[in-house]
C-alpha cells in the first residue's frame, strides 16, 4: 500500500467529529507548533519539506510564506482557497466533507506561522453542506481551546471564519477571491501588487489551497525532511487526485508523487483500468484547464520514458507534447469519447465563467465556444480550425488573470493533438453526427 | 534631477519620475509611440488594465534585473523601473496582440458609426482605423441590448459599450453616490442601473465625456449633428459648482453641445457640472476664449483648420526618428 498522509484515517468511523479526530492524533501539530516552535521555525520546516501549492500552479509554499510582507502595526491574513470549481477536480470537497478537522488544524498551524490573527476559509457557494460541516468543526475546535483567545495558554489568538462564495469559478483566482471576500464584484486585480504585499483589505495576505494547508500539519508532526523523502525529486509528498471519466473506479485517491501514470490508470489499487474493457484515448491530467494529451503521450513521454505523476514529468516536453499536473483533476476519455464535443464542453464552461473584465477573454471565450459548437454540429469549415488557433494565440498571455490561458489551452492542445478528428468533423458532417471518430492512432 | 529614472521606449530614452507608468512615460515622449488606451484615464484612480490595447513588450526589466518580462504587459498599469527597455511599435508581437484585442473589441460592437453621435471623436473608431482588419471574421449574431434612458439627459446604448469601467470610476470618484455599475458576468456583463434607477447627480454628465465609445450619449445632442460639422470653441463662465472651463460646439450661431475640455489623448481636463453642460446653451452665458485646439489628424479639424500637419515630436526631431528607426530595424532582423 502506498503511503497515506491526508487520508490516513479516512476509514475511521466518525473521523469528521472532533473527539475521533483528536483520538487519532489530531491537533498534535497545533500543540507542537504553538508550544515548542517559533513561527519562523514552522515556515522553515515547510520550506524544508518542499511542499508545493496544490491549487494548480505548484508554487513552493514555504517560499510563498516567506515572501509575506511583515510591516508593523498592520494585520496579516491567511485565506484558504476552497473555491474548488474546476471541472474534473473534487478533492478539496472530499477533504472538507470527510476530514474537516485536517483543514482546521492546518489553518491554525499556518496562521501561527504567518502571524495571522484572523483567517478565512473561502468556500464555493454551491458547497453549502461543506460550509456547515466546517462551521461545526470550528465550533468544536473552539470549545476544545484550539481556537479563539490565548490558544493553549500561549498568548496567540486566532479567529477562523468560513465565507461562502457566490459560486463563480473566477473567484478561485486569488485576487478575485480577495475582492469577493471584501464583498465586491469578483474581478481579478491587476498585479502587481501581489497579495503578499497588499491583499485582503490592502494588508499582506497569503492565499493557499485547502490541500496545501491540510498537508502542513503532517509536516510539523513529522518534520519537513521526512516529508521531502516522500515523492520524487522536486515533487515531494503526496497529492490527492480526483479521477473521473471512463474509469472502472473513479474517485479521490491519494498518491505518492512519482507514481507512473500507467499504474495509476490500470492498477487495481487505483482506477482499475478503463470501464467496460474499452481502450484509453485521451487524458486531461490536471483539471479542465490543462492541455489534453492522447493516450500514447500520457503513458510515455516524447522521449519514450514512462510518464510519472509529478510536476516535472507531466510537463515534460512543454506544451508540444506535455501537459501539467494542475490541481489533480484526472479525466480519462475512452475510445468512444468525442474530443470535439469534450473541447466544446470545456469551452462552454470558460465562456460562462469569464468575468468580463478584460476584452480578449470576455469576447474570445464566447467566440471560441460558438465556433466549436458549429464544428461539433457539422457546420464547420477548415478555416474555422485555423481561426480557432489564431483566437487562442490572441487570448493566451494577453489577459489580466490566468483564466484566459485556461480557456485557450484545452482548445489549442485539442487541435494540436487531435487535428484529424476536427477535420473529420468538418469533412464528414453527416457521419460525425452519428458515429464517433474512434481511437484512430491516438492509443498507446 | 538625480532621482529621475531612465527608460527606453522604442529606442527613445526618456527620464521620468519614479512611480510613473510606462504609458505616461511614453506620453512624455509623445508621437506615434504612445500606446493607445481605451480604458485608462489619467484623472481616474484605479482605471486601466482592462482593455488590453496598451500592451507593450518589456524587453529588459530593469538595470538590476535585466530579464525580459515573460508576457506582454499593460503599459497603463506597469510602473517604470530604472533602465527598463520597452518596445511598442517596434515589436511585431505587440502589433499582432493589439490587432487581436481590437478584433475582440469589435466582434460584438454594432459598427453603427454612420448613425452614432460619437463618430468622429470615438476612440474605438480611431483604434479600428489604425489596427483593425478590413473585414470581420466573426459570423455569429452580435450581442444586443435595449437602449436605456438613465436620467433625463443621458442615454445608454449598451451595444456599443466596451466595458472600460471609466463611467463607473467617474461616478465613484467625482459624484456623491454611484447608482450604476457593471451587472452580469462574462460577455453578458452590462453597464446598468439597478432597476432602471436614474443617474441623477450634479456631475453625472461627465460619464458622457469619459466614455470612449458611443455607449453613453448626451440626449440633448443626440442626432442633432455630426461632430465634424460643428466648431469647438473654448469658453468659460463663473460657475459656483465647477471650474466652468468648457468647450462649446457651435453650429452656425447656435451652441448645440457643451462638453468639458479634452487634451490630446481625449481625456477631460476639468470635470464640469450638469448645469454648465445641459442648461447653459446660449452664447450670452459664456465668455469666449477662442477656437479650441483640435488634433490636426482629427476629423473634427478637417473643415475648419489647416489640415494635415506633420505628427508631433517623432517627425520633428531627427535624433528621435533615427533612434526609432534603428530600434525598428534591430527588431525586425531578429
Is B163–A360 a contact, with Cβ atoms under 8 angstroms apart?
no
The Cα A11–Cα A339 span in angstroms is 37
The pLDDT profile of chain A, 444 residues, written as one tens digit per residue, is 578 888 888 888 899 999 999 999 889 999 999 999 999 999 999 999 999 999 888 899 999 999 998 888 899 999 999 999 899 999 999 999 999 999 999 999 999 999 999 999 999 989 999 999 999 999 999 999 999 999 988 889 999 999 999 889 999 999 999 999 999 988 999 888 899 999 999 999 999 999 999 999 999 999 999 999 998 888 899 999 999 999 999 999 999 998 999 999 999 999 999 999 899 999 999 899 999 999 999 988 888 888 999 998 888 888 888 899 989 899 999 999 999 999 999 999 999 999 989 999 999 999 999 999 999 999 999 999 999 999 999 999 899 999 999 999 999 999 999 999 999 999 999 998 888 888 888 877
Long-range contacts of A143-148 (CB under 8 A, 24+ apart): A143/A18, A144/A18, A144/A22, A144/A27, A146/A27, A146/A30, A146/A104, A146/A105, A146/A108, A147/A104, A147/A108
The gap between the terminal CA atoms of chain B, to the nearest Å, is: 36
For residue A372, which of A354, A359, A355, A391 has the smallest C-alpha distance? A391
Contact criterion met (CB below 8 Å) for A354 and A403:
yes
Contact partners, residue A65, CB within 8 Å, separation at least 6: A43, A46, A47, A110, A113, A114, A206
CA distances from residue A194 to A83, B3, B318 in whole angstroms, order as listed: 19, 25, 42
Nearest C-alpha neighbor of A282 from the set A158, A421, A430: A421
User: B100 and A358: CB-CB below 8 Å?
Assistant: no
The three-class DSSP label of residue B311 is: coil
Hey, is the C-beta of A202 within 8 angstroms of any chain B C-beta? no
Name the residue among B101, B138, B186 with its Cβ closest to that of A353: B186
CA distance B114 to chain A (A): 24
Helix (H, G, I), strand (E, B) or coil at B234: strand
Cα-Cα-Cα-Cα torsion A34, A40, A46, A49, nearest 10 degrees, comes to: -120
Mark yes or no for CB contact B185/A354 under 8 Å.
yes
CA distance A198 to chain B (A): 14
User: Which are the contacts of A427, defined by CB distance < 8 A and separation ≥ 6?
Assistant: none
Output DSSP code: residue A200: G
State CA B63 to chain mean position distance. Answer: 32
A167 contacts chain B (CB < 8 A): no
- ipTM more than 0.90? no
Beta carbons of B193 and B213 less than 8 angstroms apart: no
Q: Count how many Cα atoms sit within 13 Å of the Cα of residue A271 in the half-sphere of its side chain.
A: 26
Q: In chain A, how long is the greatest CA-to-CA distance?
A: 73
A356 touches chain B (CB under 8 A): yes
pTM of the predicted structure, to 2 decimals = 0.88
Show the cell assigned to B11: 529606442
Please state whether beta strands B12-16 and B5-9 pair in parallel, antiparallel, or not at all (unpaired).
antiparallel
**By CA distance, what is A187's nearest residue in B?**
B185
| Cα gap B23→B39, rounded to integer Å | 12
Whether the CB-CB separation of A194 and A203 falls below 8 Å is answered with: no
Q: Which residue of A has its CA nearest to B46?
A: A190
Question: Which residues in chain B are closer than 8 Å to A185, comparing Cβ atoms?
Answer: 181-182
Report the candidate in B18, B36, B40, B38 with the shortest Cα–Cα distance to residue B26. B36
Out of B108, B137, B189, whose CB is closest to A387? B137
Tell which residue, B333, B252, B334, B327, has the closest CA to residue B12: B327
A175 neighbourhood in chain B, CB within 8 Å = none
A163 touches chain B (CB under 8 A): no
Nearest chain A residue to B49 by CA distance is: A190
SS3 content of chain B, % helix, strand, coil (to 5): 30, 20, 50
* CA of B50 vs chain A CAs: smallest distance (Å): 4
Q: Going from the N-terminus, what domains does chain B have, and what CATH number goes with each?
A: 5-103 (3.10.20.740), 113-133+143-218 (3.30.70.20), 227-307 (no CATH)
Across the interface, of B71, B138, B189, the residue whose CB is closest to A356 is: B189
A365–B186 C-beta distance less than 8 A = yes
Could you identify the residue written with the cell 488557433? A389
Residue with cell 475648419: B304
Determine the angle formed by the axes of helices B92-107 and A382-395, rounding to 10 degrees: 110
Distance CA(A383)–CA(A360), nearest Å, equals 20
A117 reaches B (C-beta below 8 A): no
What is the full per-residue pLDDT of chain B (334 aa) written as tens digits? 458 899 999 888 999 998 899 999 999 988 888 999 999 999 998 888 899 999 999 998 888 888 898 899 999 999 998 899 999 888 889 999 999 999 999 999 999 999 999 988 899 998 888 888 888 899 899 989 888 888 788 888 999 999 999 999 998 898 888 888 888 888 888 888 876 667 778 888 899 999 999 999 999 898 888 888 888 899 999 999 999 999 999 888 889 999 999 888 888 999 999 999 999 898 889 999 988 887 766 777 665 544 434 344 455 567 777 777 777 677 666 5
β-bridge mates for residue A159, sequence order: A118
In B19-80, which ranges are E strands?
A: 55-60, 73-74
Cβ contact (<8 Å) for A356 and B71? no
Min Cα separation A157/chain B (Å): 35
- Alpha carbon of B259: minimum distance to chain A alpha carbons (Å): 28
Distance of alpha carbon B203 from alpha carbon B217, whole angstroms = 15
Q: How far apart are CA A216 and CA A91, in angstroms?
A: 17
- Is A254 in CB contact (< 8 Å) with chain B? no
pLDDT in tens, B73-86: 999 999 998 899 99
B185 and A370 within 8 Å at the Cβ level: the answer is no
Cβ proximity of A348 and A371 under 8 Å: no
Cβ–Cβ contact A175 with B under 8 A: no
A95 touches chain B (CB under 8 A): no
Residue A398 and residue B55: Cβ atoms within 8 Å? yes
Q: Look at residues B171, B204, B175 and name the one whose alpha carbon lies nearest to residue B277.
A: B204
A363: closest chain B residue by CA = B104
Residues from chain A that touch B108, judged by Cβ atoms under 8 A, are 363
Q: Tell whether A380 is within 8 A of chain B (Cβ).
A: no
In terms of Cα–Cα distance, which of B81, B163, B88, B9 is closest to A192?
B81
Residues of chain A with C-beta less than 8 angstroms from the C-beta of B35: none
Residue from A361, A363, A370, A385 to probe the interface with B (highest B Cβ count within 10 Å): A363
Contact criterion met (CB < 8 Å) for B182 and A185: yes
Question: Which chain A residue has its CA at the smallest distance from B109's CA?
Answer: A363
Residue among B181, B222, B184 nearest A354 (CA) = B184
Q: How many residue pairs bridge chain A and chain B with CB atoms within 8 Å of each other?
A: 90
Amino acid at each position: 500500500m502506498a503511503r497515506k498522509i491526508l487520508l490516513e484515517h479516512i476509514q475511521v468511523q466518525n473521523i469528521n467529529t472532533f473527539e475521533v479526530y483528536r483520538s487519532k492524533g489530531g491537533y498534535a501539530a497545533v500543540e507542537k507548533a504553538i508550544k515548542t516552535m517559533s513561527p519562523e521555525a514552522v515556515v522553515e520546516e515547510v520550506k524544508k519539506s518542499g511542499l508545493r501549492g496544490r491549487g494548480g500552479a505548484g508554487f513552493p509554499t514555504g517560499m510563498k510564506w516567506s515572501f509575506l510582507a511583515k510591516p508593523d502595526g498592520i494585520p496579516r491574513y491567511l485565506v484558504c482557497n476552497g473555491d474548488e470549481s474546476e471541472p474534473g477536480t473534487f478533492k478539496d470537497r472530499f477533504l472538507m466533507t470527510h476530514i474537516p478537522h485536517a483543514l482546521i488544524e492546518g489553518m491554525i498551524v499556518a496562521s501561527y506561522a504567518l502571524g495571522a490573527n484572523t483567517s478565512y476559509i473561502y468556500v464555493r457557494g454551491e458547497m453549502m453542506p461543506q460550509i456547515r460541516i466546517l462551521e461545526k468543526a470550528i465550533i468544536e475546535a473552539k470549545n476544545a481551546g484550539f481556537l479563539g483567545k490565548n490558544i493553549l495558554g500561549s498568548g496567540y489568538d486566532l479567529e477562523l471564519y468560513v465565507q461562502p462564495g457566490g459560486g463563480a469559478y473566477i473567484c478561485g483566482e486569488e485576487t478575485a477571491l480577495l475582492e469577493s471576500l471584501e464583498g465586491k464584484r469578483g474581478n481579478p486585480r491587476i498585479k502587481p501588487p501581489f497579495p503578499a504585499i497588499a491583499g485582503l483589505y490592502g494588508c499582506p495576505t497569503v492565499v493557499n489551497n485547502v490541500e496545501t494547508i491540510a498537508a502542513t500539519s503532517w509536516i510539523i508532526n513529522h518534520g519537513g525532511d521526512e516529508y521531502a523523502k516522500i515523492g520524487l525529486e522536486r515533487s515531494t509528498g503526496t497529492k490527492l487526485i480526483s479521477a473521473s471519466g471512463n474509469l472502472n473506479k473513479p474517485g479521490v485517491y491519494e498518491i505518492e508523487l512519482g507514481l507512473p501514470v500507467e499504474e495509476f490508470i490500470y492498477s487495481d489499487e487505483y482506477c482499475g483500468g478503463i470501464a467496460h474493457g474499452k481502450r484509453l484515448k485521451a487524458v486531461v491530467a490536471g483539471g479542465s484547464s490543462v492541455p489534453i494529451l492522447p493516450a500514447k503521450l500520457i503513458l510515455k513521454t516524447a522521449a519514450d520514458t514512462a510518464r510519472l505523476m509529478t510536476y516535472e514529468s507531466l510537463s515534460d516536453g512543454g506544451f508540444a507534447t506535455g501537459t501539467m499536473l494542475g490541481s489533480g483533476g484526472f479525466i480519462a476519455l475512452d475510445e468512444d469519447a468525442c474530443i470535439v464535443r469534450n473541447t466544446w464542453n470545456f469551452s462552454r464552461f470558460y465562456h460562462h465563467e469569464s468575468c468580463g473584465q478584460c476584452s480578449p477573454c470576455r469576447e474570445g471565450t464566447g467566440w471560441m465556444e460558438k465556433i466549436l459548437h458549429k464544428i461539433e454540429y457539422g457546420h464547420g469549415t477548415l478555416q474555422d480550425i485555423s481561426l480557432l488557433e489564431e483566437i487562442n494565440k490572441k487570448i493566451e498571455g494577453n489577459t489580466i488573470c490566468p483564466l484566459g490561458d485556461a480557456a485557450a489551452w484545452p482548445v489549442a492542445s485539442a487541435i494540436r493533438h487531435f487535428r484529424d478528428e476536427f477535420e473529420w468533423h468538418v469533412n464528414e458532417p453527416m457521419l460525425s453526427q452519428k458515429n464517433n471518430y474512434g481511437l484512430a492512432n491516438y492509443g498507446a | 534631477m538625480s532621482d529621475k529614472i531612465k527608460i527606453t521606449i522604442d529606442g527613445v530614452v526618456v527620464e521620468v519620475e519614479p512611480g510613473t507608468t510606462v504609458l505616461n512615460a511614453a506620453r512624455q515622449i509623445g508621437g506615434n509611440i504612445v500606446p493607445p488606451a481605451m480604458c485608462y484615464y489619467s484623472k481616474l484612480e484605479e482605471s486601466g488594465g482592462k482593455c488590453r490595447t496598451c500592451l507593450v513588450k518589456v524587453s529588459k526589466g530593469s538595470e538590476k534585473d535585466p530579464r525580459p518580462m515573460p508576457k506582454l504587459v499593460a503599459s497603463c498599469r506597469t510602473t517604470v523601473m530604472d533602465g527598463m527597455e520597452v518596445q511598442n511599435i517596434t515589436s511585431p508581437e505587440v502589433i499582432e496582440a493589439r490587432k487581436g484585442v481590437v478584433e475582440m473589441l469589435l466582434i460584438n460592437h454594432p459598427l453603427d458609426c454612420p448613425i452614432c453621435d460619437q463618430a468622429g471623436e470615438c476612440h474605438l473608431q480611431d483604434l479600428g482605423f489604425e489596427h483593425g482588419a478590413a473585414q470581420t471574421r466573426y459570423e455569429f449574431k452580435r450581442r444586443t441590448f435595449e437602449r436605456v434612458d438613465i436620467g433625463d439627459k443621458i442615454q445608454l446604448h449598451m451595444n456599443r459599450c466596451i466595458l472600460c469601467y471609466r463611467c463607473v470610476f467617474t461616478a465613484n470618484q467625482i459624484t456623491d453616490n454611484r447608482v450604476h455599475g457593471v451587472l452580469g458576468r462574462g460577455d453578458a456583463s452590462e453597464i446598468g442601473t439597478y432597476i432602471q434607477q436614474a443617474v441623477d447627480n450634479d456631475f453625472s454628465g461627465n460619464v458622457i465625456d469619459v466614455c470612449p465609445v458611443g455607449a453613453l450619449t448626451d440626449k440633448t445632442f443626440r442626432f442633432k449633428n455630426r461632430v465634424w460639422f460643428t466648431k469647438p470653441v473654448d469658453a468659460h463662465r463663473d460657475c459656483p459648482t465647477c471650474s466652468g472651463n468648457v468647450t462649446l460646439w457651435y453650429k452656425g450661431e447656435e451652441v448645440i453641445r457643451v462638453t468639458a475640455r479634452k487634451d490630446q489623448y481625449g481625456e477631460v481636463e476639468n470635470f464640469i457640472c450638469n448645469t454648465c453642460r445641459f442648461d447653459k446653451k446660449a452664447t450670452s452665458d459664456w465668455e469666449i476664449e477662442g477656437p479650441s485646439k483640435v488634433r490636426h489628424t482629427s476629423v473634427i479639424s478637417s473643415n475648419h483648420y489647416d489640415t494635415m500637419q506633420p505628427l508631433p515630436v517623432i517627425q520633428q526631431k531627427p535624433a528621435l526618428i533615427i533612434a526609432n528607426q534603428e530600434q525598428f530595424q534591430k527588431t525586425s532582423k531578429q
